[in-house]
Amino acid sequence: MADNNLRLGSVVPNFSAETTHGDIQFHDWIGEKWAILFSHPDDFTPVCTTELGRVSQLEPEFTKRGVKLIGLSANSVESHDRWIADIEKHTSKGSKVNYPIIGDKDRKIATEFGMLDYQDITNVDQKGLPLTVRTVFIIDPKKTIRLTISYPAAVGRNFDEILRVIDSLQGGDKYKFTTPVDWQPGQDVIIPPPIKNGPAEQLNKLFPGEKREVLPYLTYHKDPTAQA
């Protein structure tokens, strides 16, 4: 079953893996970058093909933000290599799959990371093993898990949303803000209550200028990343 220690704020497990870019040690591969690990149920499947194609289109945006991408599917690397040709054929604008895909045919990594679908007993392969669901981990340069989310096998993910979360996390780490519902870069951010109610010197240093208080515990400020 899932590793109950894989919570937000915990250090992501290290592991060895064979990938389409060669063998890796996960922590060494991350290095001092941000990273996204995202899993898929199976090679040569329709939803997965659309997802990997979309990630290839967005890869320059992730790279711009210092984020490395790595996929995982419960198949061999040889299968991944054949599948990549279909992904690139389907994807418009000639995008290439330049990021590695982990071969996890024995479900070892998927099991350690809690990526398996135990809820629906019909979601098994010919060996009777549960399918790998669509799980995403966002990991920071300290190897800390900052986001984890799982989708059922039938539902494709929105990777523009994953990019939005990266913007929020990276901006919040640097400028100490939080972000409201549906926030997009450039829109107003929230001043966290501990800073809002803390020393005025610290508040004005982190959030200079106009502040828009709408409730005693909800104060907005212009997005510092838009002014940087």
Catalytic residue set = 48
R_g of the chain, CA atoms, integer Å: 20
- Determine contact, residues 173/147, Cβ cutoff 8 Å: no
Torsion of CA 129, 157, 149, 37, to 10 degrees: 80
CA nearest 57: which of 87, 89, 83, 95? 95
Sign of the alpha-carbon dihedral angle for 173, 175, 181, 183: negative
Q: CA-to-CA distance for 123 and 41, rounded, in angstroms?
A: 9
Q: CA-to-CA distance for 102 and 125, rounded, in angstroms?
A: 18
